[in-house]
Structure 1
Amino acid sequence: MTDWGGSTSPGASGGGRRRLAATRGQSRAARQPLERPAPLRQAVYDVIAEMIINRELQPGEHLVENELAAQLGVSRQPVREALQRLQSEGWVDLRPALGAFVHVPTEEEADQLLATRTLLETESARLAAKHVTDQHVERLHELQAAGEKALSDNDQAGLVAANAALHAYVVSMSGNKVLAELIAMVDRRVRWYYAPIAQSRGREAWDEHAALIEVIAGRNSRRAAELMRKHTERTRESYHQRRKEAAEREALA
């Protein structure tokens, strides 16, 4: 017997259960086959993106598929797919009949992103000071030490990485997942803009970090927000100053 809910009673025959299961299976909509992951394509994308962020590939540089494929030890296909994805995300410009070029950020693009970063990270510092623990402070000092070492070693890539790590940790301390997601969206762009000024900001930036850590450790949320705002604004000003100086040198050349 079958009840009104469509289930079969314990006494239903095996054949009846099989017919019912088959009918249910036929009524389901067909699904698209699951796509298999493509780790090589993702790996090529990640490597090229990092080469752009670290300025190994300079803004405006022509990206030749054959050369990148040979450098990375892969075929042209994953390189082509990576460049198309990078183009859709604004890292690369694809020009008809000319090929792919690293995107050259405009003054307005940089200013808008760095201004947004200031707003987000100011709030993250305020919240971090409210939620700080002894373990947080210990980790902040470790990250500060890594930055100090990169500075003394004159290691630009290390400075960029250490700066990003320290700021990301402050964000994680905030406990605000939405804020963390928003900051993560701009993190790679910030590292891209920060790379050219990492060494010129140098000692000043890491002194500002040290002061920020002490204020966060003291649970002074208002002061932490103020210091983070000033810190990120100085980075923004330094970026624009460097661009201005570069434009002046180019005009004189």
Structure 2
Amino acid sequence: MQSTELAQDMLGRRIDRPVPLRERVYEAMQELIISGNLAPGQHLVESELAETLGVSRQPVREALQLLNSDGWVDLRPGYGAFVHAPTNQEVDQLLAVRSVLEGESARLAAQLADADGIARLNELCDEGEAAIAADDIDRIVAANAELHRYVTELSDNKVLLDFVSQVDRRVRWYYTPIARQRGMDSWREHRRLIDAIERGDSELASTIMREHTNRTRQSYLEQLQANPKDEAPAVPMRRRRRTAPRD
């Protein structure tokens, strides 16, 4: 059999590999951080996490290393692992980049969106407004993230979607504490955005999106200034107990 024929034959025989357990633990812990169930500055104890997630300590330890590499967790020698507490500058820089990316997403969406796309945007806006009425923070954050992501999907720019996806989870993390504070104002801004996209006004859609994301950015920074104690929780001034060496 020729090598090209062999390659084609093997293409249909590739074995799907299961997702490593450490990656599943990584994703579960990341969601706990984003949702606020694991708060900034919180001490992360391997044994407690393993019990909560129903796994051994090894994949938890490996997941903590990955989370540390990606900036979700801080590993402090002698003290342990702590949920990362974002600084003002960190949040400001990421949300500023988001404003640029999503402004371009909205501009392109206004040029390309069809009736089905507009209908889906309105459905997502309905979901967000219903979540506001129910005071359901998780649903508000989820609907907000999905609406913003869908605008980028409508842009039909795969590179732009890739960049937006990279910052999406951190945006959700930063948005969760201010979702109630932004309230219905945020969804009224979404309605204006959808209207501009439906009318094909690309420049207005871009302007509305940039202003919208900048208001979210400002709300987050205002909250940090009002609650400075929440910005960078102190590290406990004690070391973890060490087990005594066995004889």
TM-score range, shorter chain: 0.7 to 0.9
1:126 is aligned to 2:145: no
Q: State whether residues 106 and 155 of structure 2, in contact with CA within 8 Å, keep that contact through their aligned partners in structure 1.
A: yes
| Number of the residue aligned with 2:188 | 207
Q: In 2, Cα distance between the equivalents of 1:186 and 1:133?
A: 26
Q: In 1, Cα distance between the equivalents of 2:229 and 2:168?
A: 29
Q: State whether residues 224 and 230 of structure 2, in contact with CA within 8 Å, keep that contact through their aligned partners in structure 1.
A: no
Residue 134 of structure 2, aligned match among 153, 161, 169: 153
Q: In 2, Cα distance between the equivalents of 1:249 and 1:107?
A: 11
Q: In 2, Cα distance between the equivalents of 1:62 and 1:36?
A: 33
1:1-253 to 2 correspondence within 5 Å?
A: 37-247=18-228
Residues 182, 139 of structure 1: CA spacing in aligned structure 2 closer, same or farther, 3 A cutoff?
A: same
Q: In 1, Cα distance between the equivalents of 2:222 and 2:194?
A: 27
- Cα offset, 1:211, TM superposition: 0.9
* Alignment gaps of 5+ in structure 2: 4-14, 232-247
| Number of the residue aligned with 1:26 | none
**Bigger RCO of structures 1 and 2 (CA < 8 A, at least 6 apart):** 2
Q: State whether residues 152 and 161 of structure 2, in contact with CA within 8 Å, keep that contact through their aligned partners in structure 1.
A: yes
Q: SS of the residue aligned with 1:104? A: coil
Structure 1: which 4+ aligned runs deviate by more than 6 Å?
Answer: none
Q: In 1, Cα distance between the equivalents of 2:222 and 2:56?
A: 41
The AA in structure 1 aligned to 2:168 is: D
Taking structure 2 as the reference length, the TM-score comes to 0.85
| Number of the residue aligned with 1:27 | none
Q: SS of the residue aligned with 1:100? A: strand
Q: In 2, Cα distance between the equivalents of 1:173 and 1:121?
A: 11
Q: State whether residues 105 and 160 of structure 2, in contact with CA within 8 Å, keep that contact through their aligned partners in structure 1.
A: yes
Residues 146, 191 of structure 1: CA spacing in aligned structure 2 closer, same or farther, 3 A cutoff?
A: same
Larger-gyration structure (1/2):
1
- Cα offset, 1:153, TM superposition: 1.0
- What's the RMSD between the two structures over aligned residues? 1.9
Any idea what the Cα deviations from partners look like across 1:53-101, whole Å, max 9, x if unmatched? 1111000000000101111111111111111100000000000011100
Q: SS of the residue aligned with 2:178? A: helix
Q: SS of the residue aligned with 2:227? A: helix
Count matched residues. 219
- Cα offset, 1:249, TM superposition: 9.2
The AA in structure 2 aligned to 1:59 is: P
* Alignment gaps of 5+ in structure 1: 1-16, 22-33
Any idea what the Cα deviations from partners look like across 1:173-209, whole Å, max 9, x if unmatched? 0011111111111111111111100111011001100
- Cα offset, 1:141, TM superposition: 0.8
The AA in structure 2 aligned to 1:139 is: R
- Cα offset, 1:157, TM superposition: 1.0
Fraction of identical pairs, as percent: 54
